[in-house]
Chains A and B, each alone.
Chain A
């Protein structure tokens, strides 16, 4: 599994856009990039997943440059409830590729202030 590097923590204010960047220099051809969100004393929640270019859903966007050595999770107009730990994971997500558990890094602790 490719190793990931993220900021340990970030602060922002309500209403702003927050971008969290993850480095994954050793990403493999079959690897997807997945982001999870975790609130204290809760299980992680899947946010978004992508392979290249841009992916957008109702909660976030994921930007992946052509070399795929990094990715950026973009949270539009954050609120206090977005305060959480955000994990970037990289791995082969093809079905039939084996029952692989996920390897979580340290994540980014995002703190949103009023």
Chain B
């Protein structure tokens, strides 16, 4: 099956620093990747859609200048949390879309990155 990896799996940083999270599709190409955020005991919330070679599309309420997304290749998307603050502490999960020949597609999720901002 399609495998998506994330790096790092866990990061702890001081308030005010920037953190970059990588999302890679290991055995397939993904023109579209998605970034989600999940707070403790809550469901996943879509943050943005990352399109290879173009600007990301952000969901309402997500600051594009704070959460920088770059999708420079068909196998890599990065999310940079700029000037992180404690309220940005969360579980960040990426997914990649597999477009099938048949008329449906599904998303494969990475293992997630636990961000803790002190």
B60 at the interface (CB under 8 A from A): no
> Residue of A at shortest CB range from B91?
A41
> Residue of A at shortest CB range from B107?
A102
B8 at the interface (CB under 8 A from A): no
Of B43, B45, B104, the residue contacting A95 (CB under 8 A) is B104
Complex interface: chain A residues within 8 A of B57 (CB): 99
> How far apart are the CA atoms of A106 and B106 in the complex, in Å?
20
Q: Which one of B6, B43, B51 has the highest number of Cβ atoms from chain A below 10 Å of its Cβ?
A: B43
Given A43-B110, A43-B112, A101-B49, decide whether A93 and B105 contact each other with a Cβ distance below 8 A.
yes
Measured as residues with beta carbon below 8 angstroms from the partner, the interface class of chain A is 20 to 34
Of A44, A93, A107, the residue contacting B109 (CB under 8 A) is A44
A49 at the interface (CB under 8 A from B): yes
B32 at the interface (CB under 8 A from A): yes
> Residue of B at shortest CB range from A46?
B106
Complex interface: chain B residues within 8 A of A101 (CB): 34, 36, 46, 48-49, 59, 95
B79 at the interface (CB under 8 A from A): no
A103 at the interface (CB under 8 A from B): yes
> How far apart are the CA atoms of A101 and B77 in the complex, in Å?
15
A76 at the interface (CB under 8 A from B): no
Interface contact tally, CB-CB below 8 A: 65
A41 touches B43 (CB 8 A): no
A81 at the interface (CB under 8 A from B): no
> How far apart are the CA atoms of A44 and B104 in the complex, in Å?
18
B46 touches A93 (CB 8 A): no
A102 touches B34 (CB 8 A): yes
Of A43, A46, A103, the residue contacting B93 (CB under 8 A) is A43
Contact with B along A17-46 (1 / 0, CB 8 A): 000000000000000101010000111111
B residues with a Cβ closer than 8 A to A are: 4, 6, 32, 34, 36, 43-46, 48-49, 51, 57, 59, 91, 93-95, 97, 99-100, 103-112, 114
A residues with a Cβ closer than 8 A to B are: 32, 34, 36, 41-46, 49, 87, 93-95, 99-107
